Structure 1
Amino acid sequence: MKRLAILTLVALFCLPVWAQTTLEAHPCAITLAWDAIEGASFYDIYLDDAFVVRLSDGETAWRIDGLEGWRDYKVSWAARDVDNKDLDVHIENVTTEGWDGEYVWVNTSDDDNDGRMKELRMKVRTIDDPVYGQYPEISIVTGGVPYRFFPIFDLGQEVAGWIDWDSDTDYGECYRQCAALINTMDINPSDWKLDRVEISPSRVYMAVTSRAMIVFQAHTDSTFEFYENGEGRRCLRYTMGGDDVFRMVAFMNPVDGSPVYVLEEVLG
């Protein structure tokens, strides 16, 4: 804190700002880049007055990940010499972006699970929950209708035990519609239950167990991870996992045979 106080005081006396500095907002992340400062041995970066990292001379870029979307952050960084004296200082406020939007995976093969998986489309919006924090709400679109798949129940909602396959609730309809996309068999589950969820601003996870004829059980893991690809386009990686029963009935990605679908943001 003492170092940061000195940094701020020096800034008030109008030290020159680094030439060609750039600070860019991304979904749940911030990138920084700057020209090297003559005589600098270190570059120290702070976020909301908290120390983030010290970079050595020659490193002139950094990415701060793991942030919340649509939030204001104060970014501070300073060039310091071998004696830890400030050579230059820059302080700037920036608002991150979120993962909100529509994403799609298009099936380029002839294998489409009897027409049900010609594409996989999802809609995403950022939710700020006062109890559980920020997370992306994900709806799977089928037949032109979005069904909220994550979270399939409201967070904190008390739903105990097994849910009947024919449940007339919103979550019952959602489960039937989404299960139909990846089920390659003519047998539907008799009931299902939610086992576990994990949330964060850029990654969510859900585990479900389903039963057929009360005897056969399948355990399914659904992981949704957001990232930017090399071209800066937002992507959603949907990974299915599970036990042997699940792998026997699930429709895998027909392009590479994997349980992974990469959806790209729909532009425009």
Structure 2
Amino acid sequence: MTDHIPAADDFRCGTVAIVGRPNVGKSTLLNHILGMKLAITSRKAQTTRHRLLGIHTTDDTQFLFVDTPGFQQKHINALNKTLNKTVTQVLTEVDVVLFVIEPMKLGEADELVLKLLPKNKPVLLVVNKADLMGDKGNLLPLIQDFDLLFEFAGIIPVSAKKSLYLDELLSAIRAHLPQQPAMYAEDELTDKNERFLAAELVREKIFRLLGDEVPYSVTVEIEKFETVKNLRRIFAAIIVDKDSQKPMIIGKGGEKLKQISTEARQDMEKLFGSKVYLETWVKVKGGWADDARALKSLGF
């Protein structure tokens, strides 16, 4: 898989976990480093449910970013236990850890993640949304507080949304990656297939377009995915926990479901670079988020 990239003497390649409390900007950070939308995002916590590999290749480095779900202790069911386990497992497997925080919101949720950070590998403190702080000097008190709690290999303020200071971040990460050839071809962006990415884009629209509670009881299963020339035909079942949630997703006269499908299809066409025919419908599968067997069949 590495034919495309010459193994230079100082070529580096390694894995980088992006961790933090829910909704701190981990997926946005990954998307802006990659220069494209790979990870789904919304303002709601735990939009990310799967570990997602994002591959960023430069002339002398291949960064293998692992985006993780937000670690949280609020809603504990089988699904959230699985998501939290994903975070702790990723931390044991990577070369470098990015601990993402926001400058104005350091709370218990951040401290929970802080306790998980490995002591035996480099951890960089990434202060996201640093543009909201004005002068970098305003960050110093916060940084000093955190520096007392953990020995960070470096502290880098960034703004993921505005793509500010991302080169400085990549340079700081590179210093800690092992010298070895690339593991993936330079045009590869992820290890996930299009079927997975399509399901995620439908789920993102549900998170963005519905109220606070419903998205947490919803998952998406691609029942059929066909490619015919330059057309992808995708059939997606939106799975809800209760009968009462079905009309919320369908909406009056089917308007909400139509909006979810249209926005998801447009994003799929951008990501896949082809026309997409998308059909969606809603199914009830009671208690799926607390059923270990159901979670396994849904890919968790």
- With the shorter chain as reference, the TM-score category is under 0.3
TM-score (norm 1): 0.24
Relative contact order, higher structure (CA 8 A, sep 6+): 2
Higher helix residue share: 2
Higher strand residue share: 1
TM-score (norm 2): 0.22
